[in-house]
Structures are given as C-alpha cells and as structure tokens.
C-alpha cells in the first residue's frame, strides 16, 4: 500500500487528512518539520502533504531539505492563505502542487492520485535511464581484441568532446552501438539521441524528415512536422548510412552543421540548434568523393574523428566472448553452455553478417535446443564450411587439443582418406601414402580403423 506522510502542526488538520486517505493509503503523520524529516528517512513515503506555516521551521525550508535528499518524493504544499509569490517559490523548490485550506475532498484525492502518478513516471524514467546508461557503458561493447581496445580508448577520449565522428564498418558490426556509447558517456546523455537510417527514407521525404516542414508546405503536409535535427537539439544526431544521401541533401546538411541553424521546408523562420553529429557508413567515402557521389566539403566536416570497427572475421578472439554474452542474453545467465567443439565451428566461420548475424544464430540455437549444452550438431549446417583440419587447428590454437593429439587426428584423417580413395584396398592405400602395407595395418589398429570400416 502507498504511504502518505501528513505534516502539519495542527492535530485537527492531520486527523482530517488521515480520515480522507486511510482507506486507500497507509497514512503517517508528523507535527513538525524535524519530525517529518525523521519520518521521511525511516518510512520512505510516496507522497507528502506539507504545511507551510509551522513553528520553529516552516514548510518551505522543510521542502528544500526533503527535496535535496529525496527528490523522487512528490510534495504537495498546504496553506491557509494562497499568494502567487509563495506558490511560485514552492514550485521552484520542487513542490508538485499547492492547495489551500479548507480542502475540497474530491479535489484533494484527485491531486494526490496525479502526484503519485507523476512520481511513478519519474521513477520509471530514472530506471529506464539507468538501464540505457548500463547498456551503453563501454564495458558492454564486447571484445578483448587489440582493435576493440583501441576503439574503447578512442571513445573515452572523445565522449565528452563535441567533435563530429564518422564510424566506418561493415553491416552488423555495431556502428549504432558505438554511437550510442559515445552519446551516453557524454555530457549530452540526458538529452535526445536521434538515430536516422538514411538508406530507409525516400529521397522525396529526406529533407522533411531531417529538417521538418510547415503545414501546407506540400500536398500531404496537413500539420507542422518537427525534423530530426530539431528533435536532437542539445543531444546527438546519428546519421546511419550517410553515403546514401543525395548531393543536394548533403549540401543542406553541411550548411546546417556550419551555421547551426536551418529552415523547415515551406517555412521562413530560422531555427537554431545545438547538435552533435555522429555519422556511419559501410562504404568508402573517399572512393565516392573521387566519383563525385559524395561532397568533399561534407566529408571533411564529418570526418573530424574517424572510427573503424573491424569485421568479426578479423577479430575472432572476440567471438567466444560475444557468443557467451548472447547466450546469457537469450537463454538466461548460466542456463546453457556451448561445448568447445561447437565453439570451434563458430570461430572458424567468417560471419559476413558480423555481430548481428552471430546474435541471430545464437538466438536461433537457444530457441531450437532443449538441452543445457550446445554441441556441434546444434550449429546450423550453413556455418559448417570449414574442414575438419581447420577445426583441429583451431582446437590446438585455443588450447582445447594438445599438439600431440592433433597430430594423431591428422594422421587418422589422412589414412581414412587414402583408404576411401582406394576402396579400402590396403595395398593401394599404402602406395598412396608412400608406406608399407605392414605399417598401414599397424596404424589402422592403432587408430581403431575397422577393416572394412563399420557404418
């Protein structure tokens, strides 16, 4: 049950309010500001009704002290005489509302309900903000490779700056994740992060999407629209696949960045904004510049701090960490494990879709497997492109297989291949291997190779 703290030096007022709220709330009472402060710390109420005129310490001072320590609690001020100056001061100090005695019971209940809803919304926003900051903390960009450590170091250096950033990387490498990490570790973290996929917006709409439009600017403009630049004011604008923008749109973006203002489509008023731009592309912009498909002046404007995210195939030491992270994410921490033999297959694969493809595969495996362990048979056949030789080599390099055992595996595989090619005629197989039939027979016995092999 929600708790309401009633603070008033008059017993009759406290009793009246207790009678109004006792059915729906747990009511706590205090007769002074100092007693109220003690009750706030011990009871942690959700809502406070606080009288302004009290002996020793008035409600305004009590409000200030409570808000400094417990800003999440909604406070409604009570007074017998309402003046504009006092109301404004109470609101400035963080009061939710300000009501006068005598009270209208229904109005009082409604204000209490709205104050609690406001508190819930603030608490939820704080929780979500905490989740966002945790998700986009540096540590959540998974990887221990040299390339990723360099990216972490660069993010730490540039996060608090206002420099524009250009992130280059193949599709699925996590460019937006890096952009969000920069934003949520900067002084702009409490302001908007607005992400725009430039490749997904038709050319006829891109200017309106970026800069907004006024009502009647074109046939379908029934109302005013606020564009992404304006929505990102004080925050960060992330333009993904910026290479897909046309030259005229590139020119408009360049002007907005240089002048820090723009005009909505169909408008005449200049709108000033403070936006940090982070761009991303999976194409070589310098090659596009050479072909005249990307403006050189815009390139130099957005390429102040370049970041290149390597594809997953070039940082295979990160696959194990990423796979375990996605396994915990989709199955629950510690609920499933990947056997080393299955992990070798994941490491051997080239991952053309990069981190996004890896997460999708892990999620599919989690959904389709009932066992707590993921073995090679659970890995989709499309990933099993590497030979057994490559998998054994990976096992040695990962420390799962000893060099001596790997030698035995290689030798057994070679003997099996020779026997298959010779239709298991041992003399012919021995000739293919350049050894005597006696040595071949010895090795077949050593490796338990049946004669003929068992199906």
Structural domains in the chain?
3-131 (3.40.50.2300), 142-310 (3.40.50.300), 313-397 (1.10.8.60), 403-446 (1.10.10)
Please compute the mean of the pLDDT values over residues 128-142 and round it to a whole number: 55
Instruction: State how far Cα 202 lies from the chain centre.
Output: 27
- For 361-395, what is each residue's pLDDT tens digit? 999 999 999 899 999 889 988 887 555 566 666 66
Least confident of 86-90, 223-227, 296-300, 332-336: 86-90
Higher pLDDT, 297 or 219: 297
Report CA-CA distances (Å) from 264 to 235, 256, 268, 277.
Answer: 19, 11, 7, 19
Asked if residue 195 lies in contact with residue 136, where contact means CB atoms within 8 angstroms, the answer is no
Tell me the mean pLDDT in the region 338-352: 87
Which of 131-140, 190-199, 290-299, 422-431 is the least confident region?
131-140
**Mean of pLDDT values over 420-435:** 89
pLDDT computed for residue 348 by the predictor: 81
For residue 78, give the nearest of 45, 42, 111 by alpha carbon: 111
Contacts for 143-149 with beta carbons within 8 Å, 24 or more apart?
A: 143/315, 143/318, 143/321, 143/322, 144/317, 144/318, 144/321, 145/310, 145/315, 145/317, 145/318, 147/310, 147/314, 147/315, 148/310, 148/315, 148/318
Look over the chain and give the mean of its residue pLDDT values, rounded to a whole number.
86
Asked if pLDDT for residue 355 goes beyond 70, the answer is yes
Tell me the average pLDDT across 263-276. 89
Tell me the mean pLDDT in the region 216-220.
74
Instruction: Give Dmax (Cα) for the chain.
Output: 112
Spatial separation of the C-alpha atoms in residues 218 and 147, rounded to whole Å:
48
Of 267-281, 289-303, 433-447, the poorest mean pLDDT is in: 433-447
* Residue 204: CB atoms within 10 Å: 8
Q: Quick one: what percent of the chain has pLDDT higher than 90? A: 36
Closest CA to 361 of 378, 386, 373: 378
The answer to whether residue 453 scores a pLDDT higher than 50 is no
Alpha carbons 236 and 276: distance in angstroms, whole number: 5
What are 292's two structure tokens?
């005249």
* 136 within 8 A of 184, measured Cβ to Cβ: yes
Alpha-helix residue ranges (DSSP H) falling in 303-353: 319-331, 340-348
SS3 40: helix
Higher pLDDT, 71 or 356: 356
Predicted confidence (pLDDT) at residue 101 exceeds the cutoff of 70: yes
Nearest alpha carbon to residue 238 among 228, 248, 247? 228
pLDDT at 354 over 70: yes
Q: Model confidence at 455, in pLDDT bands (50, 70, 90)?
A: very low
The encoded tokens of residue 30 equal 């205090």
Distance, in Å, from the CA atom of 33 to the CA atom of 51, rounded to the nearest integer, reads: 9
Check residue 387 and give its pLDDT.
54
pLDDT, tens digit, for every residue of 51-69?
888 888 888 888 888 888 8
Q: Output the pLDDT for position 135.
A: 54
């Amino acid at each position: 049950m929600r708790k309401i703290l009633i603070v008033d030096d008059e017993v009759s007022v406290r009793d009246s309010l207790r009678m109004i709220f006792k059915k729906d709330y747990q009511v706590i009472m205090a007769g002074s500001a100092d007693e109220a402060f003690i009750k706030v710390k011990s009871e942690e109420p959700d809502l406070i009704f606080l009288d302004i005129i009290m002996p020793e310490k008035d409600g305004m001072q009590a409000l200030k002290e409570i808000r400094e320590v417990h800003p999440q609690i909604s406070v409604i001020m009570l007074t017998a005489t309402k003046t504009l100056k006092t109301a404004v001061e109470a609101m400035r100090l963080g009061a939710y509302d300000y009501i006068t005695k005598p009270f209208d019971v229904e109005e009082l209940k409604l204000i209490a309900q709205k104050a609690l809803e406001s508190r819930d919304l603030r608490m939820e926003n704080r929780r979500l903000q905490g989740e966002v900051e945790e998700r986009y903390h540096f540590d959540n960009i998974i990887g221990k490779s040299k390339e990723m450590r360099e990216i972490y170091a660069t993010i730490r250096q540039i996060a608090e700056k206002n420099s524009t950033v250009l992130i280059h990387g193949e599709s699925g490498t996590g460019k937006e994740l890096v952009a969000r990490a920069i934003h949520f570790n900067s002084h702009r973290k409490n302001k908007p992060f607005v992400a725009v996929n430039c490749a997904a917006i038709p050319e006829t709409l891109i200017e309106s999407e970026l800069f907004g439009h006024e009502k009647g600017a074109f046939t379908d403009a029934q109302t005013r629209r606020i564009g992404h630049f304006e929505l990102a004011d004080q925050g960060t604008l992330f333009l993904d696949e910026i290479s897909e923008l046309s030259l005229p749109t590139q020119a408009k973006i360049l002007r907005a960045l240089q002048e820090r203002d723009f005009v909505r489509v169909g408008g005449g008023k200049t709108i000033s904004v403070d936006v940090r731009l982070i761009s991303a592309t999976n194409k070589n912009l310098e090659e596009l510049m050479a072909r005249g498909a990307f403006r050189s002046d815009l390139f130099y404007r957005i390429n102040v701090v370049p970041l290149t995210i390597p594809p997953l195939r070039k940082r295979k030491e990160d696959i194990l960490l990423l796979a375990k992270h996605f396994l915990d994410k989709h199955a629950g921490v510690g609920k499933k494990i990947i056997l080393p033999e299955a992990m070798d297959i994941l490491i051997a694969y080239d991952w053309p879709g990069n981190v996004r493809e890896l997460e999708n595969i892990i999620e599919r495996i989690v959904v389709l497997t009932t066992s707590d362990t993921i073995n090679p048979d659970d890995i989709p056949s499309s990933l099993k492109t590497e030979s057994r030789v490559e998998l054994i080599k990976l096992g040695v390099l990962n420390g799962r297989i000893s060099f001596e055992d790997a030698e035995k595996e290689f030798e057994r595989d070679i003997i099996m291949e020779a026997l298959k090619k010779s239709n298991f005629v041992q003399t012919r197989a021995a000739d293919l291997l350049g050894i005597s039939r006696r040595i071949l027979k010895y090795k077949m016995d050593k490796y338990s190779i049946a004669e003929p092999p068992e199906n």
